[in-house]
Homo-oligomer: A and B are copies of this chain.
Amino acid sequence: MINERLPKIWYGGDYNPEQWEKEDWDEDVRMFKLAGIDVATLNVFSWAMIQPDEETYDFSFLDEQIDRLYQNGIYTCLATSTGAHPAWMAKKYPDVLRVDYEGRKRKFGGRHNSCPNSPTYRKYAEKLANKLAERYKDHPAVLIWHVSNEYGGYCYCDNCANGFRNWLQQKYGTIEKVNKAWNTRFWGHTFYDWDEIVPPNALSEEWNGDSTNFQGISLDYRIFQSDSLLDCFKLERDALKKHNPAIPVTTNLMGTYKELDYFKWGKEMDVVSWDNYPSYNTPESFTAMSHDLMRGLKSGQPFMLMEQTPSQQNWQPYNSLKRPGVMRLWSYQAVARGADTVMFFQLRRSVGACEKYHGAVIEHVGHENTRVFRETAALGKELAQLSDSLLDSRVQAKVAIVFDWENRWAIELSSGPSKALDYVNEIHKYYAALYDEKIAVDMIGVDEDLSKYDIVIAPVLYMVKTGYAEKIKQFIQNGGTFLTTFFSGIVNEHDIVTVGGYPGELRDLLGIWVEEIDALPPEEKNQIVVKQQTGNLSGNYECRLLFDIIHSEGAEVLAEYGSDFYAGTPVITRNTYGKGKAYYVGTCPEHDFLTDLVKTICAEKEVAPLLNVPKGVEVTERVKDGTSYLFILNHNEDEVEIDNCKGTDLLSGNQLAGSTALAGYGVMIIKQ
């Protein structure tokens, strides 16, 4: 349980009373109670208020808010306010301002703009965390610390340049090893002195944000910046923990956000929390994958849904309303995949600045007679009724998909073979096939233990880090099924090619050699021709973008190309290795192929769907002390019929046995 002081699914969100007048605060509390809200995130952007100048700290406003809410039964998720530095600080100490990718020193503005290697920022952020912890460490309202906000963004200033050089010295020891790791003999870029190294950006090695002359330095700079921001988090966390180690510490993450290696971050947080903002056209399976990824950061431990909008966003191109029922549906989707909180940005809408058209529990109209409020209050009531039944329950998956940020960065930085290759999309294709089959999946990092899984899928495992090939081999030898794809096994952790034949260290376990990789524009298609029916695989499928030209070195050839000069050569292979099997998919197949492929693999390993349901219905399971909670989520606008329901629906209280109707956007949580 995140904090035993509030033993239920927390319900609340970001609250900024500093934007309002005293007379509004009582009305807020009245409506929070109506809505069943029991937690408010305070102090997210109050640094300038709390510390109006270098010497002064004033917590009176915060004292008053925390107390007032607590007296009304509302707990506090207490933020440290360091997501935006005060204007006076930017004016007095310009080192807090970043230098951007174009090499321009920024001025005061925006948020999440502090240089992570600024001595001033680090000093005052740590000091503020200390002051907050000192003051509130024993306050009974405080459930959790919320450090900063949505960390992200890189800096290229001189402090970062120096920090990078020190970081490189720590990592490599000598300049010769840096030259080797980055292959600087290419284009005569050999460094003889640390000071010759400059951050890679639009003024030096990079362009367009993800193109580089030297993958090595660009990859290391991303790791360095992710680490620098993580250092900022750790600085505050340690300050907070020093005063009371019992209060958990989190910071709100952002799903598949590119710039930070969240698997490293998860290790440093007591509990993962994240902000879920699907676009109007985001597939449900992508949201599901994001939840699973966030759960995976701490190996399955329940996480917090820290932010979602009650209805509308403001920063999408077209900010559609959440249709009636959808906010509830998506809230339960989070819970279904491991969330133990349902929280919103924001409890009351601001009246000025760029988020004033972002939805809120209390809208600009200011009263409770709105659709959004009614839906919020209804959900609050339901969550109260669920009490602590679901808390700490776990999703149990026998299938894992490997996700690795450094691999992702290396793929995006690669010059060739195809600009159309998108790592997250490729991951999602495999995830979506499993999602459609109602197979539970864990999204795992490369440090995760594989032995608990039957099937491990690692799409585009381009970068194979030291020891990882060995780990996969052991997994397969012990009977596991492994699947990987084109553009895998190519480089080591410095993005240096493993010579001797692709897919490098994975070559023998896959039993193939990839001689060439063809890349064609998206409109060019080839075919996957299944040689003889294997499980659900049969006939022909389309494929595109990348086409490995493969020689089997012992692997069974399941399918061949249907056209082009490599027609009749292998495209899908399966290798028996120890007690297990290793699949290889040498191209980008259409969705139907992937569906049939995962069916086949799962059937081989006897990994069964959770339930057979109509199209558009999501099914997941959380288990606690041997009790199963089956979540059935209808993403269709229309009612569907669910067969084979057995147990009690926690939401309706109905006893189910056999077939039951589920309304459009409806949800059941069946206790079995």
- What is the interface of chain A, defined by CB distance below 8 A to chain B? 16, 18-19, 45-49, 52-53, 81, 84, 86-88, 90-91, 102-111, 182-193, 195-198, 200, 203-206, 212-216, 280-281, 311-321, 323-324, 349-358, 364-366, 370-372, 414-420, 494-497, 499-502, 513, 515-521, 565
Number of copies: 3
**B515 with A204: CB separation less than 8 A:** no
- From known contacts A186-B355, A192-B87, A350-B183, infer whether A497 and B319 are also in contact, taking CB-CB under 8 Å: no
**A353 with B216: CB separation less than 8 A:** yes
Q: Enumerate chain B residues within 8 angstroms of A351, measured Cβ to Cβ.
A: 183, 496-497, 499
**A353 with B318: CB separation less than 8 A:** no
Q: How far is the CA of A316 from the CA of B420 in the complex (A)?
A: 11
Q: Enumerate chain B residues within 8 angstroms of A323, measured Cβ to Cβ.
A: 565
**A19 with B186: CB separation less than 8 A:** yes
Q: What 7 A-B pairs have minimum CB-CB distances, sorted nearest first?
A: A183-B352, A109-B204, A314-B416, A357-B416, A109-B205, A87-B196, A186-B353
- From known contacts A48-B188, A203-B109, infer whether A183 and B353 are also in contact, taking CB-CB under 8 Å: yes
Q: How far is the CA of A650 from the CA of B218 in the complex (A)?
A: 51
Q: How far is the CA of A366 from the CA of B315 in the complex (A)?
A: 51
Contacting residue for A104 out of B203, B519, B521, CB 8 A? B203
**B193 with A353: CB separation less than 8 A:** no
**A357 with B182: CB separation less than 8 A:** no
**A502 with B111: CB separation less than 8 A:** no
**B321 with A518: CB separation less than 8 A:** yes
Contacting residue for A353 out of B48, B182, B517, CB 8 A? B182
Task: Looking at the assembled complex, report how far the CB atom of A298 sits from the nearest CB atom of chain B, in whole angstroms.
Answer: 29
Task: Looking at the assembled complex, report how far the CB atom of A425 sits from the nearest CB atom of chain B, in whole angstroms.
Answer: 16
Say what secondary structure dominates the interface of chain A: loop
- From known contacts A365-B513, A565-B323, infer whether A49 and B417 are also in contact, taking CB-CB under 8 Å: no
Q: How far is the CA of A187 from the CA of B321 in the complex (A)?
A: 25
Q: How far is the CA of A513 from the CA of B369 in the complex (A)?
A: 12
Q: How far is the CA of A215 from the CA of B186 in the complex (A)?
A: 39
Q: Enumerate chain B residues within 8 angstroms of A213, measured Cβ to Cβ.
A: 109-111, 353-354
Q: How far is the CA of A438 from the CA of B215 in the complex (A)?
A: 46
Taking A109-B203, A351-B499, A352-B494 as given, write out 6 further A-B residue pairs in contact, using a Cβ cutoff of 8 Å, ordered by the A residue number: A52-B190, A104-B203, A109-B206, A110-B213, A364-B500, A365-B499
**Which B residue sits closest to A217, measured CB to CB?**
B109
Q: Enumerate chain B residues within 8 angstroms of A358, measured Cβ to Cβ.
A: 416
**A49 with B188: CB separation less than 8 A:** yes
**Which B residue sits closest to A113, measured CB to CB?**
B204
**B216 with A521: CB separation less than 8 A:** no
Max chain B C-beta neighbours (<10 A), residue from A185, A195, A212, A496: A185
Contacting residue for A516 out of B19, B81, B191, B372, CB 8 A? B372
**A204 with B18: CB separation less than 8 A:** no
**Which B residue sits closest to A516, measured CB to CB?**
B321
**Which B residue sits closest to A18, measured CB to CB?**
B185
Q: Enumerate chain B residues within 8 angstroms of A203, measured Cβ to Cβ.
A: 104-107, 109
Q: How far is the CA of A52 from the CA of B184 in the complex (A)?
A: 13
Q: Enumerate chain B residues within 8 angstroms of A185, measured Cβ to Cβ.
A: 16, 18-19, 49
Max chain B C-beta neighbours (<10 A), residue from A87, A187, A212, A518: A187
Task: Looking at the assembled complex, report how far the CB atom of A307 sits from the nearest CB atom of chain B, in whole angstroms.
Answer: 15
**Which B residue sits closest to A566, measured CB to CB?**
B321
22 CB-based A-B contacts, threshold 8 Å:
A18-B185, A19-B186, A45-B187, A48-B188, A81-B188, A84-B187, A90-B196, A103-B107, A109-B198, A110-B204, A111-B188, A111-B213, A183-B350, A212-B354, A216-B353, A312-B416, A317-B420, A318-B419, A318-B420, A365-B499, A365-B515, A371-B516
Task: Looking at the assembled complex, report how far the CB atom of A185 sits from the nearest CB atom of chain B, in whole angstroms.
Answer: 5
Task: Looking at the assembled complex, report how far the CB atom of A95 sits from the nearest CB atom of chain B, in whole angstroms.
Answer: 16
Task: Looking at the assembled complex, report how far the CB atom of A630 sits from the nearest CB atom of chain B, in whole angstroms.
Answer: 28
